[in-house]
């Protein structure tokens, strides 16, 4: 296949004034208000500090998981940060990839957990998911992971966003101000916490609360990438609640194409895993990372470059291999 060959192997260039050769790679991240963006920047920094500097890394802001997977598959980026549910759907030809399974997508490692978060204005009267009926609710921009998760939640709750809500399709950057300006009543955001958009929304004059996402037993049973979790409300002291709020979520993962050279993936994985303590300091959402937890969430085949590092370090045993 062409694809990544054009942006990897063919991008081995001589460094200016040196015989050292560099490989140029890129990482698809997310919006600047989310967690993907700083996480991608942290990975870039660790990889570029590898002795000999074999990789030159750039990061690319994006709309999130779906765009990042598509960009990986068409060669626009080398690696992409994506929700584990989107990874599952891409590999199995579901949702945005219906009848078009992305069989060349490869898992590298997992990152922080993400929580499907539903934040609502206190004066909207929204206390449960069923209270969303008739309200102005942002379900996420087209092609975003947020939108896919919101649709799953609404369907599981017996609601059709086209008929039961005044559904909006805003980007996450717009949501906080729209909520505070009384132009929407609530919005879904799948994200690691703490998050800048939610902090902004919760510190405005219009008081907000987190809405529990419960009653999802059927969804959890048929969708193995979802699990029960909680919104850590303590990060948002200006919200109405004090206690953690029930929800569901998934893992964030790093993916690449099967054609990505083994040495490139190996170098990136080694740089991240051997500097994990530093990575964990780059954002509060990363604080719970461990080498073991980073091996879960692989809904696509493992890339050989990642497998090589995990075998060398004995971590494949964690994966039962």
- 93-123 pLDDT, tens digit per residue, is 998 899 999 999 999 999 999 999 999 999 9
Q: What is the pLDDT of residues 10-41, one digit of tens each?
A: 444 433 444 456 799 999 999 887 889 999 99
CATH 3.40.190.10 in the chain is located at: 3-113+252-317, 114-250
Among 196, 81, 101, smallest CA distance to 145 is for 81
Q: What is the pLDDT of residues 239-260, one digit of tens each?
A: 999 899 999 999 999 999 999 9
Q: What is the dotted CATH code of the domain comprising 3-113+252-317?
A: 3.40.190.10
Sign for the CA dihedral angle at 286, 288, 290, 294 comes to: negative
Task: Find tokens 């086209």 and name the residue.
Answer: 162
Secondary structure percentages of the chain, helix, strand, coil, to 5: 40, 25, 40
The pLDDT of residue 65 is above 70: yes
283 CB-contact burial (10 Å; exposed 0-12 / middle 13-18 / buried 19+): buried
Percent of the chain topping pLDDT 70: 93
Let me know if domain 114-250 sits in CATH 3.40.190.10.
Answer: yes
pLDDT of residue 20: 54
pLDDT of residue 14: 38
pLDDT of residue 34: 83
- What the block records as the tokens of 219 is 């969804």
Quick one: pLDDT band at residue 4, thresholds 50, 70, 90? very low
Q: How far is CA 149 from CA 144, 170, 257, 264, 295, in A?
A: 9, 15, 24, 32, 23
Contact predicate 114/261, CB 8 Å: no
Tell me if residue 60 falls in helix, strand or coil: strand
The pLDDT of residue 83 is above 50: yes
């Amino acid at each position: 296949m062409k694809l990544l060959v054009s942006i990897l192997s063919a991008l081995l260039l001589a460094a200016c004034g040196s015989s050292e050769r560099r490989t140029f790679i890129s990482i698809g991240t997310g919006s600047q208000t989310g967690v993907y963006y700083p996480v991608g920047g942290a990975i870039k920094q660790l990889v570029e500090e590898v002795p000999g500097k074999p990789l030159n890394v750039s990061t690319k802001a994006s709309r999130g998981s779906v765009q990042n997977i598509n960009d990986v598959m068409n060669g626009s980026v080398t690696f992409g940060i994506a929700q584990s549910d989107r990874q599952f759907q891409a590999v199995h030809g579901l949702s945005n990839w219906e009848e078009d399974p992305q069989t060349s997508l490869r898992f590298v490692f997992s990152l922080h957990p993400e929580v499907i978060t539903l934040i609502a204005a206190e004066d909207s009267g929204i206390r449960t998911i069923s209270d969303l009926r008739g309200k102005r609710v942002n379900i996420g921009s087209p092609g975003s992971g947020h939108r896919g998760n919101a649709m799953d939640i609404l369907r599981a709750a017996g609601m059709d966003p086209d008929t039961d809500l005044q559904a909006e399709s805003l980007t996450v950057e717009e949501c906080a101000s729209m909520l505070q300006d009384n132009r929407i009543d609530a919005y879904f955001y799948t994200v690691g916490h703490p998050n800048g958009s939610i902090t902004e929304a919760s510190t405005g004059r219009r008081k907000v609360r987190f809405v529990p996402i419960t009653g999802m037993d059927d969804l959890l049973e048929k969708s193995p990438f979802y699990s029960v979790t909680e919104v850590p409300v303590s990060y948002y002291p200006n919200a109405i609640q004090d206690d953690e709020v029930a929800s569901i979520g998934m893992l964030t993962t790093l993916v690449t194409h099967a054609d990505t050279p083994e040495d490139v993936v190996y170098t990136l994985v080694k740089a991240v895993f051997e500097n994990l303590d530093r990575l964990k300091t780059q954002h509060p959402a990363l604080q719970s990372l461990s080498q073991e937890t980073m091996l879960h969430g692989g809904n696509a085949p493992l890339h050989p470059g990642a497998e090589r590092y995990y075998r060398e370090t004995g971590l494949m045993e964690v994966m039962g291999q």
